[in-house]
Amino acid sequence: MLKNKKILVTGGAGYIGSHTVIQLLQAGLSVIVLDNLSNSRSEVIGRISKITGILPKLVVGDIRDRACLQKIFSEYSIDAVIHFAGLKAVGESAVDPLLYYDVNVSGSNILFQEMSRANVKNIVFSSSATVYGDPGFPCYHETTPLNPINVYGRTKLVVENILRDLRAADSAWNIALLRYFNPVGSHNSGMIGEDPLGVPNNLMPYIAQVAVGRREKLMVFGNDYPTPDGTGLRDYIHVEDLSIGHVSALDYLWKNGGLLTLNLGSGCPYSVLEMIDAFQKVSGRNIPFEITNRRPGDLSEYYADPRLAKQLLGWATKHDIYRMCEDTWRWQSNNPSGLTT
Protein backbone atom coordinates (compact mmCIF):
# COMPACT_ATOMS: atom_id res chain seq x y z
CA MET A 1 0.00 0.00 0.00
CA LEU A 2 2.95 2.30 0.67
CA LYS A 3 4.78 1.36 -2.51
CA ASN A 4 5.81 4.32 -4.68
CA LYS A 5 4.84 6.89 -2.05
CA LYS A 6 7.23 9.81 -1.68
CA ILE A 7 8.61 10.32 1.84
CA LEU A 8 10.53 13.32 3.16
CA VAL A 9 12.97 12.17 5.86
CA THR A 10 14.30 15.04 7.95
CA GLY A 11 17.64 14.16 9.52
CA GLY A 12 17.87 11.31 7.04
CA ALA A 13 21.67 11.36 6.87
CA GLY A 14 21.93 10.75 10.61
CA TYR A 15 22.28 7.48 12.46
CA ILE A 16 18.67 6.34 12.79
CA GLY A 17 17.52 8.33 9.77
CA SER A 18 19.97 6.69 7.36
CA HIS A 19 19.00 3.18 8.47
CA THR A 20 15.33 4.09 8.05
CA VAL A 21 15.99 5.46 4.55
CA ILE A 22 17.38 2.04 3.61
CA GLN A 23 14.23 0.31 4.88
CA LEU A 24 12.02 2.77 3.00
CA LEU A 25 13.89 2.31 -0.28
CA GLN A 26 13.85 -1.46 0.09
CA ALA A 27 10.09 -1.28 0.68
CA GLY A 28 9.66 0.45 -2.69
CA LEU A 29 9.20 4.02 -1.49
CA SER A 30 10.82 7.14 -2.92
CA VAL A 31 12.87 9.21 -0.46
CA ILE A 32 14.01 12.82 -0.21
CA VAL A 33 16.48 13.43 2.63
CA LEU A 34 16.68 16.84 4.31
CA ASP A 35 19.71 17.22 6.59
CA ASN A 36 21.88 20.14 7.67
CA LEU A 37 24.82 17.75 8.27
CA SER A 38 25.45 19.20 11.74
CA ASN A 39 25.91 15.71 13.20
CA SER A 40 26.12 13.61 10.05
CA ARG A 41 28.03 13.35 6.80
CA SER A 42 26.88 13.51 3.21
CA GLU A 43 28.97 10.42 2.43
CA VAL A 44 26.28 8.27 4.02
CA ILE A 45 24.01 8.92 1.02
CA GLY A 46 26.52 7.22 -1.29
CA ARG A 47 26.73 4.29 1.12
CA ILE A 48 22.94 4.00 1.11
CA SER A 49 23.07 3.88 -2.70
CA LYS A 50 25.63 1.06 -2.62
CA ILE A 51 23.46 -0.95 -0.22
CA THR A 52 20.12 -0.44 -1.98
CA GLY A 53 21.08 0.31 -5.58
CA ILE A 54 19.07 3.54 -5.29
CA LEU A 55 20.49 7.04 -4.73
CA PRO A 56 18.10 9.06 -2.54
CA LYS A 57 17.86 12.79 -3.15
CA LEU A 58 19.79 14.80 -0.52
CA VAL A 59 18.79 18.39 0.19
CA VAL A 60 21.31 20.08 2.48
CA GLY A 61 19.21 22.40 4.59
CA ASP A 62 17.70 23.13 7.98
CA ILE A 63 14.15 22.56 9.21
CA ARG A 64 14.22 26.14 10.55
CA ASP A 65 14.69 27.42 6.99
CA ARG A 66 11.13 28.06 5.84
CA ALA A 67 12.16 28.88 2.26
CA CYS A 68 14.03 25.56 2.01
CA LEU A 69 10.97 23.64 3.19
CA GLN A 70 8.67 25.53 0.82
CA LYS A 71 10.96 24.69 -2.09
CA ILE A 72 10.93 20.98 -1.19
CA PHE A 73 7.15 20.82 -0.86
CA SER A 74 6.64 22.73 -4.11
CA GLU A 75 9.12 20.64 -6.12
CA TYR A 76 8.20 17.19 -4.83
CA SER A 77 4.79 15.60 -4.31
CA ILE A 78 5.48 14.55 -0.72
CA ASP A 79 3.04 12.01 0.73
CA ALA A 80 4.41 11.79 4.27
CA VAL A 81 7.23 12.99 6.52
CA ILE A 82 9.40 11.03 8.94
CA HIS A 83 10.85 13.62 11.27
CA PHE A 84 14.24 12.79 12.84
CA ALA A 85 15.95 16.18 12.57
CA GLY A 86 16.94 17.58 15.94
CA LEU A 87 19.59 17.78 18.62
CA LYS A 88 19.84 14.87 21.04
CA ALA A 89 22.58 15.25 23.68
CA VAL A 90 21.10 15.41 27.18
CA GLY A 91 24.15 17.11 28.69
CA GLU A 92 24.39 19.69 25.94
CA SER A 93 20.70 20.47 26.28
CA ALA A 94 21.26 21.51 29.91
CA VAL A 95 24.14 23.80 28.92
CA ASP A 96 22.37 25.42 25.95
CA PRO A 97 18.60 25.06 26.39
CA LEU A 98 17.81 27.94 24.03
CA LEU A 99 19.53 26.13 21.17
CA TYR A 100 17.56 22.94 21.90
CA TYR A 101 14.23 24.77 22.02
CA ASP A 102 15.13 26.61 18.82
CA VAL A 103 16.10 23.52 16.82
CA ASN A 104 13.84 20.85 18.30
CA VAL A 105 10.71 22.89 19.01
CA SER A 106 10.81 25.95 16.75
CA GLY A 107 12.24 23.93 13.88
CA SER A 108 9.53 21.29 14.24
CA ASN A 109 6.82 23.95 14.39
CA ILE A 110 8.06 25.53 11.16
CA LEU A 111 8.11 22.07 9.53
CA PHE A 112 4.52 21.40 10.61
CA GLN A 113 3.39 24.81 9.36
CA GLU A 114 4.88 24.16 5.94
CA MET A 115 3.45 20.64 5.86
CA SER A 116 0.03 22.12 6.57
CA ARG A 117 0.52 24.76 3.86
CA ALA A 118 1.40 21.99 1.39
CA ASN A 119 -1.47 19.78 2.62
CA VAL A 120 0.95 17.03 3.70
CA LYS A 121 -0.67 15.69 6.86
CA ASN A 122 1.01 12.33 7.50
CA ILE A 123 3.95 12.29 9.90
CA VAL A 124 6.00 9.87 11.96
CA PHE A 125 7.81 11.72 14.75
CA SER A 126 11.01 10.51 16.36
CA SER A 127 10.29 10.98 20.06
CA SER A 128 12.08 9.50 23.06
CA ALA A 129 11.66 7.54 26.28
CA THR A 130 13.04 10.63 28.01
CA VAL A 131 9.50 12.07 27.93
CA TYR A 132 8.64 9.74 30.82
CA GLY A 133 11.29 11.08 33.22
CA ASP A 134 11.48 9.17 36.50
CA PRO A 135 8.05 7.74 37.31
CA GLY A 136 9.38 5.67 40.21
CA PHE A 137 9.21 2.32 38.43
CA PRO A 138 11.39 0.90 35.63
CA CYS A 139 8.92 -0.44 33.05
CA TYR A 140 7.43 2.31 30.90
CA HIS A 141 4.03 1.81 29.25
CA GLU A 142 2.56 4.34 26.85
CA THR A 143 0.22 5.45 29.67
CA THR A 144 3.11 6.12 32.08
CA PRO A 145 2.95 9.77 33.24
CA LEU A 146 4.99 12.20 31.15
CA ASN A 147 7.38 14.23 33.28
CA PRO A 148 10.80 14.61 31.59
CA ILE A 149 13.73 15.48 33.85
CA ASN A 150 16.03 17.07 31.27
CA VAL A 151 15.80 19.77 28.62
CA TYR A 152 16.13 17.32 25.73
CA GLY A 153 13.17 15.28 27.00
CA ARG A 154 11.13 18.42 27.56
CA THR A 155 11.68 19.52 23.95
CA LYS A 156 10.47 16.13 22.74
CA LEU A 157 7.36 16.37 24.92
CA VAL A 158 6.58 19.89 23.64
CA VAL A 159 6.71 18.61 20.05
CA GLU A 160 4.49 15.65 20.97
CA ASN A 161 1.99 18.08 22.48
CA ILE A 162 2.04 20.27 19.36
CA LEU A 163 1.22 17.23 17.26
CA ARG A 164 -1.51 16.07 19.63
CA ASP A 165 -3.08 19.53 19.54
CA LEU A 166 -2.76 19.60 15.76
CA ARG A 167 -4.60 16.31 15.46
CA ALA A 168 -7.33 17.53 17.85
CA ALA A 169 -7.81 20.65 15.74
CA ASP A 170 -7.73 18.87 12.37
CA SER A 171 -8.61 15.18 12.13
CA ALA A 172 -7.06 15.04 8.63
CA TRP A 173 -3.66 14.75 10.33
CA ASN A 174 -2.34 11.19 10.76
CA ILE A 175 0.43 11.09 13.34
CA ALA A 176 2.71 8.48 14.90
CA LEU A 177 4.68 9.40 18.02
CA LEU A 178 7.42 6.81 18.44
CA ARG A 179 9.17 6.79 21.82
CA TYR A 180 12.29 4.74 21.57
CA PHE A 181 14.82 3.72 24.08
CA ASN A 182 18.56 3.13 23.39
CA PRO A 183 19.32 2.55 19.70
CA VAL A 184 22.55 0.64 19.02
CA GLY A 185 24.05 -1.53 16.28
CA SER A 186 24.65 -0.91 12.59
CA HIS A 187 23.49 -2.09 9.19
CA ASN A 188 24.64 -5.67 8.67
CA SER A 189 26.62 -4.64 5.59
CA GLY A 190 29.05 -2.78 7.84
CA MET A 191 28.79 0.20 5.47
CA ILE A 192 26.85 2.58 7.70
CA GLY A 193 26.61 2.89 11.46
CA GLU A 194 26.64 5.29 14.36
CA ASP A 195 29.29 7.85 13.47
CA PRO A 196 29.16 10.68 16.02
CA LEU A 197 31.16 13.83 15.41
CA GLY A 198 33.54 14.35 18.34
CA VAL A 199 33.34 12.39 21.59
CA PRO A 200 30.40 9.92 21.61
CA ASN A 201 27.58 10.67 24.03
CA ASN A 202 26.28 7.10 23.99
CA LEU A 203 27.70 3.87 25.39
CA MET A 204 27.96 1.62 22.33
CA PRO A 205 29.91 3.92 19.98
CA TYR A 206 32.27 4.73 22.85
CA ILE A 207 32.89 1.01 23.48
CA ALA A 208 33.47 0.50 19.75
CA GLN A 209 35.97 3.35 19.57
CA VAL A 210 37.87 1.94 22.55
CA ALA A 211 37.90 -1.49 20.87
CA VAL A 212 39.31 -0.06 17.63
CA GLY A 213 41.95 1.98 19.47
CA ARG A 214 40.55 5.48 18.95
CA ARG A 215 40.01 5.97 22.69
CA GLU A 216 42.03 4.74 25.64
CA LYS A 217 39.26 3.52 27.94
CA LEU A 218 35.57 3.70 28.75
CA MET A 219 34.28 5.63 31.74
CA VAL A 220 31.52 3.74 33.58
CA PHE A 221 29.41 6.20 35.52
CA GLY A 222 28.59 4.46 38.79
CA ASN A 223 28.67 0.85 39.98
CA ASP A 224 26.58 1.31 43.11
CA TYR A 225 23.11 1.26 41.61
CA PRO A 226 20.54 -1.23 43.01
CA THR A 227 21.04 -3.55 40.03
CA PRO A 228 22.58 -7.05 39.84
CA ASP A 229 26.09 -5.78 38.97
CA GLY A 230 25.72 -2.21 40.25
CA THR A 231 25.74 -0.55 36.80
CA GLY A 232 22.77 1.02 35.08
CA LEU A 233 20.30 -1.12 33.14
CA ARG A 234 19.01 0.14 29.78
CA ASP A 235 16.72 -1.14 27.05
CA TYR A 236 18.94 -1.37 23.96
CA ILE A 237 17.29 -1.76 20.56
CA HIS A 238 19.05 -2.64 17.32
CA VAL A 239 18.81 0.25 14.87
CA GLU A 240 17.55 -2.09 12.13
CA ASP A 241 14.67 -3.21 14.35
CA LEU A 242 13.99 0.45 15.13
CA SER A 243 14.02 1.51 11.48
CA ILE A 244 11.61 -1.29 10.57
CA GLY A 245 9.35 0.05 13.32
CA HIS A 246 9.19 3.41 11.55
CA VAL A 247 8.14 1.84 8.25
CA SER A 248 5.57 -0.28 10.09
CA ALA A 249 4.15 2.81 11.79
CA LEU A 250 3.92 4.65 8.48
CA ASP A 251 2.12 1.68 6.94
CA TYR A 252 -0.29 1.63 9.90
CA LEU A 253 -1.08 5.32 9.42
CA TRP A 254 -1.70 4.79 5.72
CA LYS A 255 -4.16 1.99 6.42
CA ASN A 256 -5.83 3.27 9.58
CA GLY A 257 -5.07 6.96 10.07
CA GLY A 258 -5.38 8.59 13.47
CA LEU A 259 -2.93 9.30 16.28
CA LEU A 260 -0.56 6.50 17.24
CA THR A 261 1.68 6.63 20.32
CA LEU A 262 4.07 3.71 20.78
CA ASN A 263 7.15 2.60 22.66
CA LEU A 264 9.82 1.00 20.48
CA GLY A 265 12.03 -1.10 22.70
CA SER A 266 12.84 -4.70 23.51
CA GLY A 267 11.56 -4.80 27.08
CA CYS A 268 14.79 -6.60 28.02
CA PRO A 269 17.38 -4.34 29.71
CA TYR A 270 21.13 -4.96 29.84
CA SER A 271 23.69 -3.44 32.19
CA VAL A 272 26.77 -1.47 31.17
CA LEU A 273 29.01 -4.36 32.24
CA GLU A 274 26.91 -6.85 30.27
CA MET A 275 27.32 -4.70 27.15
CA ILE A 276 31.08 -4.50 27.68
CA ASP A 277 31.32 -8.26 28.18
CA ALA A 278 29.25 -9.03 25.07
CA PHE A 279 31.32 -6.66 22.95
CA GLN A 280 34.57 -8.20 24.17
CA LYS A 281 33.31 -11.69 23.26
CA VAL A 282 32.18 -10.64 19.79
CA SER A 283 35.22 -8.51 18.91
CA GLY A 284 37.95 -10.46 20.67
CA ARG A 285 39.22 -7.09 21.95
CA ASN A 286 39.75 -6.06 25.54
CA ILE A 287 37.70 -3.01 26.58
CA PRO A 288 39.53 -1.18 29.40
CA PHE A 289 37.17 0.77 31.62
CA GLU A 290 37.27 2.88 34.75
CA ILE A 291 34.50 3.24 37.31
CA THR A 292 33.75 6.85 38.12
CA ASN A 293 30.96 8.79 39.84
CA ARG A 294 27.34 8.63 38.77
CA ARG A 295 26.16 11.29 36.38
CA PRO A 296 23.43 13.61 37.67
CA GLY A 297 20.01 12.56 36.42
CA ASP A 298 20.95 9.00 35.43
CA LEU A 299 18.39 6.39 36.48
CA SER A 300 19.36 2.96 37.76
CA GLU A 301 17.04 1.14 35.37
CA TYR A 302 14.36 1.69 32.76
CA TYR A 303 12.93 -0.28 29.87
CA ALA A 304 9.96 -0.39 27.51
CA ASP A 305 6.74 -2.25 27.76
CA PRO A 306 6.66 -3.09 24.02
CA ARG A 307 3.36 -4.97 23.90
CA LEU A 308 1.27 -2.25 22.24
CA ALA A 309 3.62 -2.04 19.23
CA LYS A 310 3.35 -5.80 18.88
CA GLN A 311 -0.44 -5.65 19.10
CA LEU A 312 -0.98 -2.78 16.65
CA LEU A 313 1.93 -3.13 14.23
CA GLY A 314 2.88 -6.77 14.60
CA TRP A 315 6.33 -5.37 15.38
CA ALA A 316 8.86 -6.69 17.87
CA THR A 317 12.64 -6.60 18.16
CA LYS A 318 14.51 -9.54 16.62
CA HIS A 319 18.20 -8.83 17.30
CA ASP A 320 19.79 -9.70 20.65
CA ILE A 321 22.75 -8.15 22.46
CA TYR A 322 25.30 -10.21 20.53
CA ARG A 323 23.87 -9.23 17.14
CA MET A 324 23.93 -5.59 18.28
CA CYS A 325 27.60 -5.92 19.18
CA GLU A 326 28.51 -7.96 16.07
CA ASP A 327 27.06 -5.38 13.71
CA THR A 328 28.60 -2.47 15.63
CA TRP A 329 32.02 -4.13 15.54
CA ARG A 330 31.71 -4.90 11.81
CA TRP A 331 30.94 -1.23 11.14
CA GLN A 332 33.67 0.14 13.42
CA SER A 333 36.40 -2.30 12.35
CA ASN A 334 35.63 -1.65 8.67
CA ASN A 335 35.53 2.10 9.29
CA PRO A 336 37.93 2.79 12.17
CA SER A 337 37.73 6.56 11.64
CA GLY A 338 34.08 6.56 10.63
CA LEU A 339 32.89 7.77 7.23
CA THR A 340 36.07 9.76 6.70
CA THR A 341 37.81 6.56 5.56
pLDDT at 215 over 50: yes
Confidence of residue 1 (pLDDT cuts 50, 70, 90): low
Is 315 inside any structural domain?
no
Residue 3's pLDDT band (cuts 50, 70, 90): confident
Digit-coded pLDDT (tens) for 190-213 = 999 998 888 888 899 999 999 999
Average confidence (pLDDT) over 121-140: 97
Q: What letter does residue 84 receive in the DSSP assignment?
A: -
Q: Quote the domain boundaries for residue 102.
A: 6-184+236-265+305-310
Q: Residue 254 domain-assigned?
A: yes
Task: Please say whether the dihedral angle defined by the alpha carbons of residues 269, 272, 274 and 278, taken in this order, is positive or negative.
Answer: positive
Mean pLDDT of the chain: 96
Would residue 92 count as lying in a domain?
Answer: yes
Judge contact between 123 and 80, C-beta under 8 A.
yes
For the chain, what percent of residues have pLDDT higher than 90? 93
Range 254-261 average pLDDT: 97
Residues identified as active-site: 152
Within-domain flag for 208: no
Q: What is the CATH number of the domain that holds 20?
A: 3.40.50.720
pLDDT band at 341 (very low <50, low <70, confident <90, very high): very low
Instruction: Report yes or no on 199 lying in a domain.
Output: no
* Structural domain contains residue 249: yes
Q: How confident is the model at residue 6 (pLDDT cuts 50, 70, 90)?
A: very high
Asked whether residue 186 carries a pLDDT value surpassing 70, the answer given is yes
Distance in angstroms (rounded) separating the CA atoms of residues 5 and 116: 18
Shortest CA distance to 109 belongs to which of 89, 93, 133, 86?
A: 86
> What total number of domains does the chain contain?
1
| pLDDT value, residue 37 | 95
Q: Is the pLDDT of residue 135 over 90?
A: yes
- What pTM was estimated for this model as a whole? 0.96
